[in-house]
Amino acid sequence: MSLDTLRKQMAAFYDPLRGDSIEQNAAFMAQRDAIWGAMDAYAQANPDCLPALLKARLHEEIAGQFEPVIFPGSPFFFEMGVRAAENWGTPDQHTVASWMLIRRRDIHGGPEAQRRLKCATDTLSLWNCNDVFDSDHHCIGYTGLFETGIDGLLAAIARHEPGADAEGRAFLDAARRSARALLLIADRFARKAEAEMSAAADPESRGFLEMIARTARRVPARPPQTFYEGLAALLFLREALASLEGIGISVLGHLDRLLGPLYESDLRAGRITEAGARDLLARWMLFTDVRFHVDDNPWPETSTCIELGGCDASGRPVFNEVTRLTIETHEACGLLNPKLNCRYGSASPRAYLDLVGKTLSRGHNHFAFLNDDVLIPACVKAGKTQAEARLYVNGGCQETIVEGVEHSAGAYYYFNMVRVLDLCLQPFPLPADSDPALAALKPEPISDAPDFESFYARFMAEMAKTLRTGANWLAEGGRAWSRVNPCPMFSATINDCIQKGRDYTAGGARHNPAGMALVGLGTIVDSLHAIRALVFEERALTLSGLRAALAANWEGHEGLRARAIALPKYGHDNPEVNALAGRFAADLAAQARGLVNERGGPFQPSFFVYYAFVSMSGNVRATPDGRRNGELLSQGIAPGRIRPPEAITDILN
């Protein structure tokens, strides 16, 4: 059966589940209402049920009521039909799994902290955070599951129960029940495949059904033993956990590291051919583009990535036939997704780099590139072991996640650094009825300073205050999350949740970082340099004169603006600006050090900005670098746009 036929089968199923029409989908809404109604009745009858056990009950309800969907042209089992087509698991789109979050947010979700965070967003435009906890950007502990299967998790739960405290016993009981619900889901796919065999339209479809019926009872209960079983396990685990937990799971696994040995074993045993492997990969990868209708979707975000290359836990480079087949099949099928996250480093084989480079040169540019020589040491510096760090992956927003030991929460809290400087330079009266907490948060105006060092110190003090306040409010609201949306099945795949008897939302993982995405590095460095040069070195104007020019949006001050624009900029490889950028980044890191997130771990600052550099720009007034009201802020670690560097080597240097 051709891929075009499979594409049509999938489109026929997913089109009625699109977000803009799903509420008119009677079957989906009836299923959701039935499951939610059963959960409402259970919660009312069991008001003292602990949150983790309530979530496990939701998993059991979903496992019992969902209707397995099997596509005749696919040998894979994964579609449960319980969330919108464009949903990769997040609770803010239509999904049956969001019942608990919706019902409990106002009861246990730190509403006061959420209110303050939203006020600071709406009134002061200092940051943007979608919630007090990152419900997106997750990676399952695939490596451990490929070693033990779900049966291994159940055995670990049994080993740790006797020594657990009351909270731990409740979590472990919930994890066991959730794991059994997951196995029931797989079994229901097997039964559905068996039931459809007699009506299969052709031998190939029947063969696919036989593969599903045989495999769904083996994996994920036990570790996969073949290349096909490995593909099936990865897709089933990602899709089923996203449908059960109501969290975005962005990573489909480190494909060549996990599947390379299985493929080689299959070849030696004569179980597979290269052509057969290519066909399996094509059918495995196809569903994302169809599900998210990327051909006509104005915002075709899929948050679906696979990792390739890099190294294994011992440091051996990963490059094998699965690497090659995956990249070549992705290109041959003209796919956009899943995103190919290609790790590389000084030890990467030349053949691997040539393969990726030649694919790019032919116009198939659907890669993200991650430098092992930078990211592995960075992960070690952040507290991971060398072996742990070598298994890092990157999620839908390219945030680094050390697989199996953490949820890094790297891309949900965006902090507008340039707005802090804006508020230090220009007045911004708050409404009379504003929350006193906002008045305390708002940066104090810097009316005068004897020299740049004094100005910089006062500015960085205001930066520290706003960073600290935002982090504390996030932590305050997020500490309740283990009572709002615990995730016992996901947590069971992450070390050391079973050992500690704690959900990952309660700090059960081995590592518990949270991200702090800092927006506008280039703009703020250029602005600080302009203040230093024009106000304190050249004495071209005073701080009050600069404030007047900014308040006028540089109108009537065109000559001064031209001087500001003509100054060396971040990215021009100017020694003074380079030093200022390094100093500012180091000072930010020092300010973030010691801030504690809701799970008891550190905040990790980054300059990742997604599209926040666009959305935040409109609320930032004119800046000393020559930028006018509302013009774009700099993006990530890139230079600003006012006077870009003339050579890319200036940026790299």
C-alpha–C-alpha distance, residues 408 and 406, integer Å: 6
Residues 399-454: tens digit of each pLDDT? 899 999 999 988 889 999 999 999 999 999 988 888 888 889 999 999 999 999 99
What is the tally of structural domains in the chain? 1
Give the CA radius of gyration of the chain: 26
How does the average pLDDT of the chain come out, rounded? 95
For 310, the domain range is 251-394
DSSP letter assigned to residue 124: I
> Between the CA of residue 469 and those of 192, 387, 585, what are the distances in Å?
53, 35, 19
* Structure confidence at residue 384 (pLDDT): 97
Residue type, 585: A
The verdict on residue 604 lying in a domain is: no
The verdict on residue 275 lying in a domain is: yes
Residues 6+ apart with CB under 8 A from 630: 617, 618, 620
Among 116-125, 322-331, 458-467, 483-492, whose mean pLDDT is lowest? Answer: 116-125
* Structure confidence at residue 22 (pLDDT): 93
Average pLDDT over residues 161-178: 98
C-alpha–C-alpha distance, residues 548 and 533, integer Å: 17
Residues 6+ apart with CB under 8 A from 577: 525, 526, 529, 568, 569, 570
Could you check whether the bond before residue 443 is cis, i.e. omega within 30 degrees of 0? no
* Structure confidence at residue 109 (pLDDT): 58
C-alpha–C-alpha distance, residues 82 and 21, integer Å: 15
Percent of the chain exceeding pLDDT 70 equals: 99
Long-range pairs for 503-510 at CB < 8 Å and ≥24 separation? 503/52, 503/171, 504/407, 504/599, 505/133, 505/481, 505/599, 506/482, 506/599, 507/599, 507/600, 507/601, 508/171, 509/405, 509/406, 509/407, 509/599, 510/388, 510/405, 510/406
> Between the CA of residue 88 and those of 22, 216, 396, 421, what are the distances in Å?
15, 22, 10, 37
C-alpha–C-alpha distance, residues 184 and 168, integer Å: 24
Cβ atoms of 568 and 577 within 8 Å: the answer is: yes
Residues 520-531: tens digit of each pLDDT? 999 999 999 999
The verdict on residue 360 lying in a domain is: yes
- At 98, is the pLDDT very low, low, confident or very high (cuts 50, 70, 90)? very high
Residues 67-94: tens digit of each pLDDT? 999 999 999 999 999 999 999 999 987 9
Residues 314-367: tens digit of each pLDDT? 999 999 999 999 999 999 999 999 999 999 999 999 999 999 999 999 999 989
The verdict on residue 357 lying in a domain is: yes
Residues 6+ apart with CB under 8 A from 595: 467, 468, 471, 472, 516, 602, 603
The verdict on residue 112 lying in a domain is: no
C-alpha–C-alpha distance, residues 37 and 552, integer Å: 58
C-alpha–C-alpha distance, residues 398 and 393, integer Å: 9
C-alpha–C-alpha distance, residues 105 and 111, integer Å: 8
The verdict on residue 381 lying in a domain is: yes
What global pTM score does this model have? 0.95
The verdict on residue 388 lying in a domain is: yes
Q: Kindly report the number of other CB atoms within 10 A of residue 340's CB atom.
A: 25
pLDDT > 90? residue 397: no
Among 38-42, 121-125, 221-225, 381-385, whose mean pLDDT is lowest? Answer: 121-125
- Looking up tokens 């800092």 gives 518
C-alpha–C-alpha distance, residues 453 and 163, integer Å: 56
Helices (H), 216-336: 227-245, 255-269, 274-291, 321-332
For the CA atoms of 290, 293, 299, 305, the dihedral, rounded to the nearest 10 degrees, stands at 0
C-alpha–C-alpha distance, residues 74 and 95, integer Å: 24
Tokens standing for residue 113: 């902290």
Average pLDDT over residues 511-525: 96
- Looking up tokens 């319980």 gives 82
Q: Provide the CA 488 distance to its chain's centre, in angstroms.
A: 19
C-alpha–C-alpha distance, residues 184 and 10, integer Å: 24
DSSP letter assigned to residue 179: H
402 beta partners: 392
The verdict on residue 45 lying in a domain is: no
Tokens standing for residue 499: 């050992």
